[in-house]
Structures are given as structure tokens and as C-alpha cells.
Chains A and B, each alone.
Chain A
Amino acid sequence: MSNTSPSVVPSGAKPKPFITPQRVLVYTVLTICAVFFLFPLYIMIITSLKNIQEIQSGNIFIPTMTPTLDAWEKAWNSACTGLYCEGVKVGFWNSIKITVPSTIVSIIVASLTGYSMANWPFKFSEVFFTILLLSSFIPYVVMIYPLVIITRELGIYSTLPAVVLVHTIFGLPLLTLLFRNYFASLPQELFKAARVDGAGYWQIFFQVFAPMSVPIFTVAVILQVTGIWNDFLFGVIYAGPTNYPMTVQLNNIVNSAQGGKAYNVDMAATILTGLVPLAIYFFSGKYFVRGIAAGAVKG
């Protein structure tokens, strides 16, 4: 009788007020976050659509009346990096050549290692697990120089295989943990049933577990693709100038001092570089959340 008027008979779901303190808080925080990330993107997009005179004379916050894609075309095809004027497309293809093999190799190795650790315990597998756990916390900067020497001794320093190798190695600890935890969270009886059915190591992996593991593979792909695509350091150090990934090229374009600053081209090149991870998050966000929830929580 306290908060409903006497004429309303309580029945079914209790009506809830639309504005509650929790909602106000949640929406405020979400709005601030969205503005924080979207506002720079807005500036970049409108700037990339202007021509250089408009940029120099106009207001940075106001979109142009005569949008043009010239800057985008220039950024992709003919922006200069100091030596060459071939745009970011060279870097784009380099990044593809680095990201695709690194992602595939690291996921194959990590999923098999994680599966072995979770389901085929070997002597010292727990010790191995602990080492892996600790090694994912070591700052990778300390390994840069040793890896330079190792790749040099292998005769691959400053080549595509070198940077692929380095990305694969650095992806392994985290990915292996991810897969191990996911496979450990699958019902043990399923594994036993497959053993009784006569399935071996590979058959259980490919025919029973892998089809159930789409979410975790999706998470792994997203982590690797975005991580490797966004990488700058390893690209600069190990890839060699002809294989510089897109991030390095972008840096060279933005920093090359030829005449006045072409802000519109810089903006377009930046957006182009960020497009791949953005698209991946955009199209697979649902699976990403689902996979993280499925795999990473249980230990």
C-alpha cells in the first residue's frame, strides 16, 4: 500500500521507475566513455574529407560543405614516407603478410599446447603451466636484444620470417593459457567418452573439441590480429625496411617533412591503418564477449 495508489491492484510484474540512480550512473559513465573515444574519430573523419585550404582557414570542429576523398586516395596510393611515395598500401600488404601467418601459426601451436596441458597431463605439466603463467608477465622489452641475436644467427634478421617468428613466440604464453583454461572447462566426461570410443589425441582435438571451441578460437584470432596489426616495435626491429608493417609506414608518412603538413592525408592514413582491428571488433564483438566469458573465467 505504500507506493501504489489504492486504485491499482498489484498483479504481474511490479512496475519499475525508468530513472533510477543505477541507470543514471551507468548511462553517464557510458556516455563519457563513448564521447572520449568518438570525438577524436569525428575530428579525424571530417578533417580527412577537407582540402588543405579549408583545414588551414576553417574551424577544426566544423565539417566541410564540399567533402572530397582526394586525401584518402593520396594516403592509400601516393603519400610519401621520405624515400618512396607509394602510400600506405605497401604497409597494408606487409601487415597482412605479417599478421596472417603469425596468427595462424601461434593459434595452432597454442591450441594444441593448451589442449595437451588440459587433457593429456604429462610429467611436470603443472610446472610447465606455472612457468607459462609467470612468463606472460615478463616485460618483453628484455627479450628484444636476445631475439635480435637469435634471428641474426638463424640468418633471418630483417626479414618477414623473423617478425612472424617473434610475433608467434610472444603470442604463445597468453594464448596457451587461454586455450588451456577453455579446454579444462569443458566436461571431463566428454573427453572420457571419446577415449572409450577409441578416439586418439588428434581425433579428440579435431572432431570433438575443436567444433565446440569456436568462441575461444574467435577470441584468439581477435587478440592476435589486433595485437599484431597494432604492433610497431617488432615491425621496426625485426621486419626490415622492405617489410615495414602499416603502423611503421604510417609513422614515416606522418613524420616525413616535405613541405607543409598534409593533415587531411595524415588523418586518412591513420584511419586506414586502424580500419582492420576496428572492423574485426565490429563484426565479432558478440563472439569475443561470449568467448572471454566461456574461457577465461574458469581456471
Chain B
Amino acid sequence: MHSVSVKNLTLKFGSAEVLKNLNLDVEEGEFIVLLGPSGCGKSTLLNCLAGLLELSEGQIHIKGKNVTWAEPSERGIGMVFQSYALYPQMTVRGNMSFGLKIAGLPKAEIAKRVERASEILQIGPLLDRKPGALSGGQRQRVAIGRALVREVDVFLFDEPLSNLDAKLRSELRVELKRLHNRLKNTMIYVTHDQIEALTLADRIAIMRGGIIQQLDAPQTIYNRPANLFVAGFIGSPAMNFIKGATVDGGKRFTFGDVSLDLAGYEGGAILDRPKAIIGLRPEHLTMVDAAIPGHTIPAVVEIDEPMGADSLVWLLAEGRQMSVRVPVEHRPAPGKLVHLRVDIAKASLFDETNELRI
């Protein structure tokens, strides 16, 4: 039995189809991240799961029960919003117990749950304050607490960290991971931040234009992007794309005067494709002094951007801009001719016509 199951979901706002025949199965206790550029329908999907939007077509099942027509409060979900959405006139305690009071839980039970949630989230000292007197991080903790006290199976997060500054964001990110390890609930988490996705997710669903492009473990998404969009979206600095062709029955990739040996590529049948793209991550290239035929690309150093531990070097290869990540002590001088060694096992090949990974 899946914890959450979305079947053929279509959602239209008027005539605009925001989600298109979407299917998604989430396992019990899984941490799923919906990742995609803004406007791709992530929040819309989450709102559908929560019961805050009416589906145009399709079904939603939670814990094996068809909840397509159920009220948000009947679905066994808790939700955390980007803007915290705390009730400004109520204290922290009031915010956390509001839903429980409406559900008619006995006072003692409410107190016990609030106690437990505030202990987990370390917001005990704040219980009698109003949201206005809290910092952003504290507010988001309270918002998480409000979902926690519901003791539900599924948590929905809509960009919960996006309003926080960088330091707090990374702190709370770790805390969320810890929370998931402790509670083992199913969590569905929306973000446009790939670092959050890569660090938190058991599986990432990459979305674009209302369609899930790829649903896989973070490492798979990172190493074997299913298409050009995913490849370009994941990874910072972005993957280098070079247009060329595969020749010799799929044994070599050529562009300009460069020819790369494709032996060891992990993927499908390469074949001869006149329009192909090779994707090379900056961290999968190494700078060497001498050319190795079939394994290196000659390039001239333009500039470098030191980033603390390592440095991002920008080069020109056959008139194309490329970037390489190197240890900071290996920074080359601008203008120098170097050779970029390609690890073909970590490269990705795409067919330019359908943009799919080969």
C-alpha cells in the first residue's frame, strides 16, 4: 500500500492546464521532494494533495483510502507554508492547539501533544508569545509544530525555508532531516532549491510545466539525468553541454576538431546520431597538462572564481564556454592552454532531437 498515491491528476485553472495527467506513488515513510522552477505547478500539486484545490480529473489516495473528495482536515495530512501562515491573534500555544480544539480533543490530550511537539522543536519558552514577537526561524518552527500536533501520517511542506536567510535555512534543513529520522512520517516537500532537494530527499520528483520529468533518488538524478532539462536544472555550477555528433557506430563523440572515445559510457545504445549533446559536470573534469587522444579537450583558461575550498575555472574550448571545478591550489593562470580530461563513465549523452538521455 502506498502512503500517497496520485492517479492521472489533471488540474485546470480555467482553460490553462497546470497539472497534466500526473501520476505519483509515495511509499510509507518516504521523504519526497518536488523540485522545479517557479510556476511549474509544485504548490498546485501540494494543494491538491491537501484538498485545498478541487481536481479537474483523477484521484488522490492517502493510506489506501480514496480522499479525492475529502475535506483537508479529514485526509490525515499536516501542512507547512512558506509564509508560516500563523494566526496572528493567537499565542504559539493557541496556534498549535487550534486544530485540535476544533476536532474536539480533550484538554489534557491537547496539552500533552503541544508539550511533546514543543519539546521536539525546542519552542517551549515561546508558547505564550504571539507570532509577531517571534523571529522567522521560530515562526517556521511553530508552523511545523502546528502540523506535528495533528499526529498525521503525511506532512506537506510548501517551500518552508524559502523565507529564511541562508544560515537559518541550512540549520532548519538539518533539523527537518532529524525530524524525519525521528518520526518516520511520509513527507512531501516542495522547493525550488536543489540543495534542499539533494540533501533531504529519498527521492526527488523534478517538475516542469506540470509534468514530472524524472522521479529518482538524488544520486541517480544527479548522475543519470533523464533529459536535458533535468541535467541543466540539477547541479550548481551547471553542467557543460557540448553539441556534436556520435560517429563510428556510437563509438566516438565529435565536435570541432575534438573526438572523444565513448567506451565506458553507461547508458543505452548510442548509435550514430548526427545531432547529439554531451553533458559534462564541472566536477567530473580534470585539468591535465598533456593531451591524451580521445580523452581530453583542449581549452584556454579565461578567468577563475575561487570559492573557498575549490575554484571554478572558466575556459574556452573550440569557441564554447566551459567550466571546471579544481582544487584551489591548482588554479591555472589566465591565457594558459590546458587539456580537460573527460571521465566518460560520468558523462551524459543526449539526443538533441528529443532531448532524452541516451
Q: Which residues of A contact B (CB under 8 A)?
A: 187, 189-190, 192-199, 203, 207-208, 211-212
B85 touches A198 (CB 8 A): no
Tell me, rounded to whole Å, the shortest Cβ–Cβ distance linking A294 to chain B: 13
B89 touches A211 (CB 8 A): yes
Residue of B50, B51, B52 contacting most chain A CB atoms (<10 Å): B52
B87 touches A190 (CB 8 A): yes
Choose among A187, A198, A211 the residue that contacts B73 (Cβ–Cβ < 8 A).
A198
Tell me, rounded to whole Å, the shortest Cβ–Cβ distance linking B99 to chain A: 3
B85 touches A197 (CB 8 A): no
A198 touches B102 (CB 8 A): yes
A187 touches B50 (CB 8 A): no
Interface residue B233 (Cβ < 8 Å from any Cβ of A):
no
Interface residue B146 (Cβ < 8 Å from any Cβ of A):
yes
Q: With A203-B102, A207-B98 given, is the CB distance from A197 to B146 under 8 Å? A: yes
Q: With A196-B72, A196-B73 given, is the CB distance from A212 to B89 under 8 Å? A: yes
Choose among A189, A199, A212 the residue that contacts B98 (Cβ–Cβ < 8 A).
A199
Q: Which residues of B contact A (CB under 8 A)?
A: 47, 50-52, 71-73, 77-79, 81-83, 85-89, 98-99, 102-103, 143, 146
A–B Cβ pairs within 8 angstroms, 14 of them = A187-B85, A189-B83, A192-B47, A192-B81, A193-B85, A193-B86, A194-B87, A195-B71, A195-B72, A196-B73, A196-B77, A197-B99, A207-B98, A212-B88
Chain A interface, DSSP helix/strand/loop, else mixed: helix
Q: Which residues of A contact B143 (CB under 8 A)?
A: 193
Cα distance, A211 to B87, chains bound together (Å): 10
Closest 3 CB pairs of A and B: A198-B73, A197-B99, A211-B89
B85 touches A190 (CB 8 A): yes
Given A193-B85, A207-B98, 16 more A-B residue pairs with CB atoms under 8 Å apart are A190-B85, A190-B87, A192-B47, A192-B72, A194-B87, A195-B71, A196-B73, A196-B99, A197-B73, A197-B146, A198-B73, A198-B102, A203-B102, A207-B87, A208-B87, A211-B89
Cα distance, A203 to B99, chains bound together (Å): 11
Q: Which residues of B contact A195 (CB under 8 A)?
A: 51-52, 71-73
Cα distance, A211 to B130, chains bound together (Å): 13
B79 touches A193 (CB 8 A): yes
Q: Which residues of A contact B50 (CB under 8 A)?
A: 192, 196
